[in-house]
Amino acid sequence: MQTPRLQSLNFAFLGDHGDHLLEYAARAERYVLDDPNTTFIKLRQLAEELAELAAAYNTLCVEREDGFSDLLRKLKRKDIITREMADIFHGLRKAGNAAAHEGGGTRQEAVRQLRLAHRLAVWFHQAFRDPGYRPGPFVLPPNPRQASPKLKEELDRLRKERWDSERRADETEDALRKARREQEAAEARAEKTYVALAAALELAEETEARRAGLSKQHRDRVADVQAGAARATAQEQAALTRQARQAAELFDLSEGEAREAIDAQLRAQGWEADSIVRTWQKGARPQAGRNQAIAFYPAGDGYADYVLFCGGMIAAIVEAKRRNIDLRKALDEAARHSHAYQPQADECPTNAKDHTRIVPLLFASNGRPFASDDDTMHGVWFQDLRNNDAAPHSLKHWPTPQELIAMQECTE
């Protein structure tokens, strides 16, 4: 019996580039909720094959001993991918490696990585097949039939709140209504597609022979692309490289995705962070013995994007921004929250020696990695309001809770 071609809620367009890419994406999508470990492994395979094909299209010299990291450096050096994209590729690589060697991983992180892989896949399609392609809304898989009530509740929450996080505040009501209709239509198609995908994957059992066949498909596809690139004229090759770079320039993270990136960076430094769940409105409060980034925390007549707490003590205010916002200037907004801040009932007094301002330490970020000391669109920007002579500056990483406590106690 012939195996039906896989369908996908979000990655169907990858079928134009080969069934092997579509299968990796479809398996990652199918298992994102009930087997996140498989999702991480499949997304790593997908990411590496996208990178290898991008190199082939651009006639990059890839040595036999080159690893995935080497390949990404070459793509970045030739400006085929941006630093932000390289960071996402590396994130997929590391998550896949960890899943293969250590196991584990949460559904939440698997969903986040699936969404980011989708963004890379869209870029790849725009860069090397259809520059005018515009994807529909990203659709989360429907509730698995045998899911626990807790999982169903979590997925319903993710579906609603992830959609809300993608909508920009400056969109008109008409645009919001249209986007909502598109999302609802996509959700209505999701279950039928998901059931078909599950059935196809049952028939397409992932045997060693099948894995070898997919690997051969990829090698053959890379060879075909390399041969085509070698036959192209200099003008044709330049046009393709230009198209890839233009697609990379359009690559952007929504505000919700920027917050997800910030969440992940904070967690890596020892903070409890989740801007969807760990919010003031949902009951998150400072607690002894816990280092938390609480989102949408009251600050005067508004809300700070995050407030960092070391136990019950407030440690810093964070302003989160979309891409292409000057982070140095964004610190001004964090400073306004600092001036307006009033301690809540659950807080301990700050231990800062200068009490002229309750929250002197300010940060601003859009989730993009550090690029250089003077790049105000990347990195984590920091300001200490206690020192009028110290200019805001960029940090390579978020401070750990212990480092932030030391910064609070420093009077320089």
| pLDDT score of 4 more than 60 | no
- Please report how many Cα atoms fall inside a 13 Å half-sphere around the Cα of residue 330, on the Cβ side: 26
Q: Which residue has the higher pLDDT, 141 or 372?
A: 372
153-176 average pLDDT score: 55
Give the domain ranges of the chain: 12-251, 257-409
Least confidently predicted of 14-28, 83-97, 309-323, 332-346: 332-346
pLDDT of residue 215: 86
pTM: 0.73
Q: Which residue has the higher pLDDT, 43 or 282?
A: 43
Rounded to the nearest integer, the mean pLDDT of the chain is 83
Enter the tokens of residue 115.
Answer: 């969404």
pLDDT of residue 181: 72
Least confidently predicted of 2-16, 270-284, 285-299: 2-16
Q: List residues bridging with 272 in a β-sheet.
A: 292
Backbone angles phi, psi at 13, to 5 degrees: -60, -20
44-79 tens-digit pLDDT? 999 999 999 999 999 888 777 789 999 999 999 988
Identify the CATH number of the domain defined by range 257-409.
3.90.1570
185-221 tens-digit pLDDT? 666 666 666 666 666 666 556 667 777 888 898 999 9
Predicted confidence band of residue 83 (pLDDT cuts 50, 70, 90): confident
| pLDDT score of 397 more than 80 | yes
Predicted confidence band of residue 289 (pLDDT cuts 50, 70, 90): very high
Predicted confidence band of residue 412 (pLDDT cuts 50, 70, 90): very low
